[in-house]
Amino acid sequence: GQNIDQPTEMTATEGAIVQINCTYQTSGFNGLFWYQQHAGEAPTFLSYNVLDGLEEKGRFSSFLSRSKGYSYLLLKELQMKDSASYLCAVNKGGGNKLTFGTGTQLKVEL
């Protein structure tokens, strides 16, 4: 199957840390991407994981556990501009053909 699940909405406070989870079915897995998307705009690439473990990029980190079909995106030192939709996407079978998760709308509040 293609189910890639994320929480629909999350709210966090400016300056805090938030973790956005993504679960997927493991068959044919060939890498997982995280994107940020503001309303009406194109998704922006944040991170890529293909091996188990944590990838850190500044305020953003992404973790993958292939055996559990689980990933999370960690955002630190939240800023108001981080309010956006966060999409995880799985590459199944190669060719960089991505199947997107349901998306998580993050709202950062003062």
Partner 1 sequence: GAVVSQHPSWVICKSGTSVKIECRSLDFQATTMFWYRQFPKQSLMLMATSNEGSKATYEQGVEKDKFLINHASLTLSTLTVTSAHPEDSSFYICSAPTGPARGNPFGSGTQLSVL
Question: Considering the rule CB under 8 A, would residue 86 count as an interface residue with partner 1?
Answer: no
Identify whether the C-beta of residue 48 lies closer than 8 Å to the C-beta of residue 63. Answer: no
Both tokens of 68, joined, read 């559990």
| Candidate ranges 12-20, 65-73, 74-82, 101-109; the one touching partner 1 (CB under 8 A) | 101-109
Q: Check residue 109 for interaction with partner 1 (CB under 8 A).
A: no
User: Does residue 2 contact residue 99 with C-beta atoms inside 8 Å?
Assistant: yes
The pattern of x and - marking residues 12 through 51 that bind partner 1 according to CB under 8 A reads: -------------------x-x-x----xxxx-xx-x-x-
- How far apart CA 3 and CA 8 sit, in angstroms, is 14
Contact assessment for residue 22 and residue 84, using Cβ atoms and an 8 Å cutoff: no
User: Is the CB of residue 72 less than 8 Å from the CB of residue 64?
Assistant: no
Q: Considering the rule CB under 8 A, would residue 103 count as an interface residue with partner 1? A: yes
| Residues engaged in binding partner 1 (CB under 8 A) | 31, 33, 35, 40-43, 45-46, 48, 50, 87, 89, 91, 95-103, 105
